[in-house]
Amino acid sequence: MKNFEYAKPATLKDAVGLLGTSWGDTVVLAGGTDLVASMKDHLVSPARVVDLKAVKELTGLGGASGGFRIGALTTIDDLARNKDLSSKYRALWQAADSIGSPQVRNRATVGGNMTQRPRCWYYRLGYGLLGQKDGKSLVAAGDNRYHAIFGNAGPAYFVNPSSLAPALVAMDATFTIQGKTGGPRKVKASDFFVIPKTDADRENVLQPTDILTEILLPAVPASSATYEVQQKMQLDWPLASAAVVLDLAGGTVKSARIVMGYVAPTPWRTQAAEAALVGKRITPETAAAAAEAAVKGATPLSRNGYKVQLAKVAVKRAILAAAAS
């Protein structure tokens, strides 16, 4: 690991003031579960590390203006232990409760989960964000078992690595971002994640001079759920997931929001599946029909066709779990 300058500001203003103007020069440290490993692997070699843990403005977890506020420094364990989340925002609580090991949940933060870099092994081996060599994709012709089946027309083939993001998009959350100039700006969770076009791009709308400060959840119907399909039950990233929020009236679906995870470079909302549920009662048959609609248009690569079935299973079971909640 290359030597670096270490800074531990006490205020958000000071933290933002310490940021550099280009990616890689300065990085922010929250839980460090992804950043430290990336530095050890020389994926990033910053001149300065800005430790955010003393910035009180980034903490806090609780009710706010009829909704719910989550400070960016909130740990995954804090989410998993929160009773309000488990009862009112169950999809998010289930996603938090499934993450990693107790050690990871005690260190990893919500802000870090939103901004962690892709787990694509080509990227992690130093072939750049798009996994290319000599201008050609290593992913498309290589081992792409865990890569995207949606939004993968190229050049990005990785999947968004956040377990929390599908639930936050499904719940129509809002992210607050503070930059070096001007006041804070608000960005919808659905607009926060983007598909990069070059290695110099990022997977979200943050600029080098920005810090994600908080996540705001609106008041949402209690009927929500997250379902993940994993190869093993613990210490593993899902192969596919789905977060579902249902607005029910007398057992009939008034509206639905369905977002798939681990199948695209961004959390992947499926409006076709949502439309398949509106005006209907939730039964195994209607859930199965919505799941079929969710995977129409999937474009699997040479070795990840199995993900289509897993995504379908995740959507169906998340719908049934949300209705049961």
Q: Which CATH number goes with the domain that contains 92?
A: 3.30.465.10
User: Using one digit for the tens of pLDDT, what is the confidence trace for 150-203?
Assistant: 999 999 999 999 999 999 999 999 999 999 988 999 999 999 999 999 999 999
Classify residue 260: in a domain, yes or no: yes
Domain shared by 244 and 203, yes or no: no
Residue 205 lies in a domain: yes
- Residue 197 domain-assigned? yes
Cross-strand pairs, 246:
223, 256
Q: Are 298 and 315 in contact (CB under 8 A)?
A: no
pLDDT score recorded for residue 169: 98
Give dist(CA 23, CA 143) in Å, integer. 29
Give the total number of structural domains in the chain: 2
pTM above 0.85, yes or no: yes
Q: Which domain holds residue 63?
A: 56-115+160-217
- Dump pLDDT digits (tens) for 52-108: 999 999 999 998 778 999 999 999 999 999 999 999 999 999 999 999 889 999 999
Domain check: are 80 and 189 in the same one? yes
Asked if residue 20 is part of any domain, the answer here is no
Same domain, 320 and 246: yes
Last residue of a domain, one of 217, 242, 261: 217
Query: Model confidence over 4-59: pLDDT tens digits?
Result: 999 999 999 999 999 999 999 999 999 999 999 999 999 999 999 999 999 999 99
Which pLDDT does position 232 carry in this prediction? 80
Phi and psi at 88, nearest 5°, equal -100, -30
232 and 207 inside one domain: no
184 and 306 assigned to the same domain: no
Q: Which 3 state secondary structure label does DSSP give 170?
A: helix
166 plus 276 within the same structural domain: no
Same domain, 284 and 310: yes
Q: Summarize pLDDT for 270-284 with one digit per residue, the tens.
A: 999 999 999 999 999
pLDDT in tens, 311-325: 999 999 999 999 998
Domain assignment of residue 155, yes or no: no
Say yes or no: 232 and 277 in one domain.
yes
Q: How far is CA 25 from CA 19, 50, 72, 177, 203, in A?
A: 8, 11, 22, 20, 18
